[in-house]
Structure formats: structure tokens, C-alpha cells
Amino acid sequence: MRALITGIKGFVGRHLAQLLLDKGYEVWGFTRMEAQDSVINNCNLVKVDYSNEQLLINLFNDIRPDEIYHLAGQSSVKFSWSNHLDTFEGNALNTLRFLESLRKSSICKEVRVLTIGSSEEYGGVGYSDLPISESVALNPISPYGVSKASVWLMAKQYSQAHGMRIVHARPFNHIGPGQGQGFVTTDFATQIVRIEKGEVDPIISVGNLEAKRDFSDVRDIAYAYTLLQRKGMPGQAYNVCSGIPVSINTLLQTMIQLSKCTSICVEKDMSRLRPSDIPVYYGDPSNISRTTGWQNKITLNESLNDILEFWRKK
């Protein structure tokens, strides 16, 4: 089997590539033109410009993957508030360019495609909508959410109109070793590790601690994606989530307990707040469980431990 991962050098892309290699896949990856020339062991990497339609068509015709995981995009909700255009370009427009090139390629009808959305597509939901199932109306409130809802609409339309085998994943928050700066567990872990090493005073800066989110480990999410490729219904969206709400404060306190610090002072940093932040957010995983048998295997504590360990070794 041959898989192509767009955005292979991203947080999820690296974990997914490893999982597919372990399963015996031949793995290809698309990276951005401006990406650094680093290698990912045993994967074939190609730099692509999504606006070069003929280049993409030729690559699809030549590589002929059985499965494509379209992970490339701008993944930060926070960044999207100050970078609306880049977010829409990276997520929505590049997905349109990707799908349009794929439609014109010779593998259009055979290849299985997974597009990646987000729980942010649901946006401002009411308490009566919790846990959020796929039937809840989309009401995105962040620029990021709008861009991901657009990805879903395109996935559905290309699937229906052109008979393409596109399944759409809606992951809730995913965390784990290797996630970049600017996401909550990385922001907390990097500060905690510096405190452990005695590099800074024992003060941690935080944003909104009241929000509740639904966390899964990136390695569980990557596995879910491989199952959705094989078992998901084209033209359908699937939540990928634990179904358990955890407050950001609980997350912080758990990380402090797992650290080697005896006492840490918590300080609110107004620059970490967002113009709008959904208060409580957790999903209903029944659909993906029923369809693929998937459920989370890695506990929150294991994830948080691995994240701290990752940053201690950096």
C-alpha cells in the first residue's frame, strides 16, 4: 500500500508517517516550498506549491497513492485571529486547489482521501448540544473554524458531485510529544521544564483556565485517521474525540503534579486570551466507534507525561 501525506512535517503528519511505515506502507509526503530541507526517515518527500495545478496533477499521476491524508494547513486557532487571510489560504484555498488537481488526475475515482477539519467547525454550540455529535449545525466563530468548515463543505461537494472517495475527520483537541509552541500543553510544558531546570522563577503564565476541552493523544488520532480511510463513508464527517470534558485548569494542575516542581505560582497573561473562546466543548465519539471500532487508548496522564519528557530532552 502507498500513502501520501500532505503536511507530513507537521505535528500529526510525523506521527501518522511513522504509524504507516510501521504498518508496511510506502509513504510519500508533500511539504511546503519554504520548508527546511530536513528528512523524515524512509519517506519520500516532495516540495509542492498548491497553486501549481499541473505539478500536482503530474505528482498524483506519477505517485499513484492508494490513500491520501490531506493534513496540510494552518493549525492554530489563536494565530487565526490575527492572520485571517493566511488561515483561509492555507486551509480552505489550498484544499480547493488540492481537490481540483486531484479531480483532474487519473487516480481521481480510485484514491481514498481523508480531509482534516476540526471541532472548531461547530463553534458556538449550546449546552443542550453537548456532547457534540455530527448532526449539530455548524456555527464556527473563529477564522480557523470558518476555514475548516469550508474544508468540510468542499470535501462533501467533491465527493457528491464527482464521485470522489473523500471522508472528513473532525478531531477535537489533540496533544502529544512534538506539538509546536502556541498550543496549551506545549505552552505549559515548556514553562514547567524551564522552572524544573532552574532557568526561570517558578511562575507560569496562562490564558483562559475556565475553558473545558476534549483531549486525545496525537498517536490515537493518527490511528483513527487510518481507520477512517478504510472504513469511513465517503461524503461523511466523523468526530475524533474522547467524549470527556477536561478544564484547562485541571490540565495545568495535572501537569504541575507530574513535574518535579514543588510549588509554582500561576499568573494570568492577558495576551494569551482570545477575542472569543468557546467555554465548554466535548464531542460524541459514537459514530467513529460504531463505524471503525476506534477508541482512545492513551490516557491523559500518559500524554502529559510524554509531553513533559519530550521538552525535558529538547
Residues near ligand GDD (CB under 6 A) are: 75, 77-78, 118-120, 171-174, 182-184, 187, 206-209, 211, 213, 248, 272, 274, 277
CB of 260 to ligand GDD, least distance (A): 20
Q: Report the distance separating Cα 159 and Cα 9, nearest Å.
A: 27
How far apart are CB 136 and ligand GDD at their closest, in Å? Answer: 14
Nearer to ligand GDD by Cβ, of 97 and 213: the residue is 213
The CB density around residue 109, as the number of other CB atoms within 10 Å, is: 11
Contact (Cβ atoms closer than 8 angstroms) between residue 47 and residue 21: no
The residue among 1 and 266 lying less far from ligand GDD, judged by its C-beta, is 266
Kindly state the smallest distance separating residue 127's Cβ from ligand GDD, in Å: 17
Nearer to ligand GDD, 163 or 182 (CB): 182
**Residue-wise burial string across 47-80, b where 16 or more C-beta atoms lie within 10 A, e elsewhere:** ebebeeeeebbebbeebebebbbbbbbbbebbeb
Whole-angstrom distance, CA of residue 99 vs CA of residue 110: 14
Sign of the CA dihedral running 20, 176, 238, 57: negative
- Angle of CA points 308, 268, 202, to nearest 5°: 50
Task: Rank residues 52 and 139 by Cβ distance to ligand GDD and give the closer one.
Answer: 139
Residue 16: what residue type? L
Q: Which amino acid is at 43?
A: C
Overall residue count recorded for the chain in this entry: 314
Q: Which is nearer to ligand GDD, 74 or 101 (CB)?
A: 74
Q: Which is nearer to ligand GDD, 97 or 170 (CB)?
A: 170
CB of 229 to ligand GDD, least distance (A): 19
Query: Measured from the CB of residue 264, what is the shortest distance to ligand GDD in angstroms?
Result: 14
The least distance separating ligand GDD from the CB of residue 47, rounded to whole angstroms, comes to 23
- Strands 245-247 and 212-214 turn out to be antiparallel
Is residue 158 a contact partner of residue 103, using CB atoms and an 8 Å limit? yes
Please state the closest distance from residue 274 (CB atom) to ligand GDD, in A: 6
Distance CA 214, CA 109 (A): 35
43's enclosing H/E stretch is strand 43-48
Closest separation in Å from C-beta 66 to ligand GDD: 26
By three-state DSSP, how is residue 6 classified?
A: strand
Q: Which is nearer to ligand GDD, 98 or 282 (CB)?
A: 282
- Nearest CB to ligand GDD, comparing residues 105 and 147: 147
